[in-house]
Amino acid sequence: MTVRELTKKANLSVFSGEKGLDAEITGGYTCDLLSDVMGHAESGNVWITLQTHKNVMAIASLKELSAVILVKDQQPDEDTLHQSETENIPVLGTSLQEFEISGILYNLIKS
């Protein structure tokens, strides 16, 4: 499944990084601790988090994640958006909380 397909199936908004929407998703990782994501997320994962600052994009880029999903209607910081565009890694949004969107993503990837 690509990031674009995920945005449609999970009803996600796209804040930025549209050039990265055709990246293939390998799985998901849900966490708000940056070092845990750094240590354990796999490349191609979608990262579900409530962190909105620019360091999220530094990690997404270094780990070659496919996209970041911000939960509970969180808005990305201005420099996060900018970095997302530069790296072509989409920042997506949902009104759902982490448990709910993780469950949806899990089922979509499993099926």
Judge whether 65 and 46 are in contact, CB under 8 Å.
yes
Tokens encoding 27? 């799985």
Under rule CB under 8 A, residue 55 binds another protein? yes
Number of residues counted as binding another protein (CB under 8 A): 18
Q: Which of 34, 74, 108, 109 binds another protein (CB under 8 A)?
A: 34
SS3 91: strand
Under rule CB under 8 A, residue 53 binds another protein? yes
Under rule CB under 8 A, residue 58 binds another protein? yes
Pairing of strands 91-93, 13-16: antiparallel
Q: Establish how many alpha carbons lie within 13 A of residue 93's alpha carbon, considering only the half-sphere containing its beta carbon.
A: 14
Under rule CB under 8 A, residue 11 binds another protein? no
Under rule CB under 8 A, residue 51 binds another protein? yes
If residue 48 lies in a helix (H) or strand (E), which one and from where to where? Answer: strand 45-49
Q: Shortest distance, CB of residue 24 to another protein, whole angstroms?
A: 16
Tokens encoding 24? 């293939």
Q: Which of 61, 98, 108, 109 binds another protein (CB under 8 A)?
A: 61
How many residues are recorded in the chain?
A: 111
Catalog residues that contact another protein under the rule CB under 8 A.
Answer: 32-36, 38-39, 43, 49, 51, 53-55, 58-59, 61-62, 79
